[in-house]
Amino acid sequence: MTERAVPPFHIIEPHGIHRPVIVASPHSGRNYMPEFLRLSRLGALALRRSEDCYVEQLFEAAPRQGATLLHATFPRAYCDVNREAWELDPTMFREPLPAWCNTTSRKVKAGFGTIARIVSRDGPIYARPLPFDEAEKRIRTCWRPYHDALAHLVHDSVARHGFCLLLDAHSMPAVKGRGEQPDFVLGNAWGTACTQQMTALVEHVLTGHGYSVARNVPFAGGYVTRHYGQPRRGVQALQLEMSRALYMDQDSLQPHEGFARLQSVLMEVVAMLAQYGDMLAQMAAE
């Protein structure tokens, strides 16, 4: 496939009644363009280890609950839309970066800026520095269209309903030897991106099925959660991280028998958010 053959994102509209719920999957894209693979010292399988594999498929029934589903098609390793537009590592580029770039963030220093420097277990992605225009191209063709689409969906929900509930969906590797890891981490930016009620409702569904759930540690929410989550303006954003071990083999990257069960549970989460949205709408009308 060429870069032009695949749009940078897909939007699946609700079936029937529109609810003020958006499910977004920014990291499950798997269109690894040949030109990207030529630049990379890593093969497609190694690059896919940074991918939130199949997350948009886990939520594919969300539109039947009245939610809108947005998902990126480009890989996270190519362009990470859960970062600022210009969160870039200066060591990755041939030329000095413009002054407007954020070159000192914690994510940049760790190697996970808008253009990632590494895939955690496989090391550096590139054998040599990139031209700055490569970053400009990716931000222009991936980052901006994705955020333009998400911003439009959020604005449309607020205009239509008076508010918006955004669930930013991710997966996290299950790492052996790191003690007890939760099945899910709910990130609300320490209570600033959504209400405690919304967080508690999602947590209630998950714990009701026997899953372990943590809040904000180690993932409190990335750029999407912090940028769009403005409860006082009617927009609540919650980042949901789920363990990949729940639904896939982390070596082969293939779904396993847990996939269908998790998919069903996540539809309960979306249904609960839809009911919460109906409750908020009723309260606003009274």
Residue 1 in this model has a pLDDT that exceeds 70: no
- The amino acid occupying position 34 is P
Separation CA 63–CA 237 (nearest Å): 18
Q: What's the mean pLDDT in 183-191?
A: 98
Bridge partners, 236 (sequence order): 165
pLDDT at 51: 97
Domain ranges of the chain: 9-285
pLDDT of 20-51, one tens digit each?
A: 999 999 999 999 999 999 999 999 899 999 99
The Cα angle at residue 137 between residues 136 and 139, in degrees rounded to 5: 65
pLDDT of residue 179: 62
Please give the pLDDT value at position 2.
39
What's this model's pTM, rounded to 2 decimal places?
Answer: 0.96
**Integer Cα distance of 158 and 180 in angstroms:** 39
The answer on pLDDT for 274 being more than 50 is yes
- The single-letter DSSP state of residue 230 is B
Residue 182's alpha-carbon distances to 211, 229, 240, 284, in angstroms, are 8, 24, 12, 36
From residue 199, give the alpha-carbon distance in Å to each of 155, 159, 212: 22, 23, 14
What span, in angstroms and rounded, lies between the C-alpha atoms of 158 and 235?
A: 8
Question: Residue 136's pLDDT is what?
Answer: 98
Q: Which of 44, 31, 39 is nearest to 3 (CA)?
A: 31
Strands 184-187 and 213-215: parallel
The CA distances from residue 227 to 168, 189, 205, in Å, are: 12, 10, 26
Residue burial 219-236, b: 16+ Cβ < 10 Å; e: rest: bbbbbbbbbbbbbeebbb
Residue 3 has a pLDDT of: 43
Domain 9-285 is found in CATH 1.10.10.10: no
Query: What is the Cα–Cα distance from 13 to 221, expressed in whole angstroms?
Result: 25
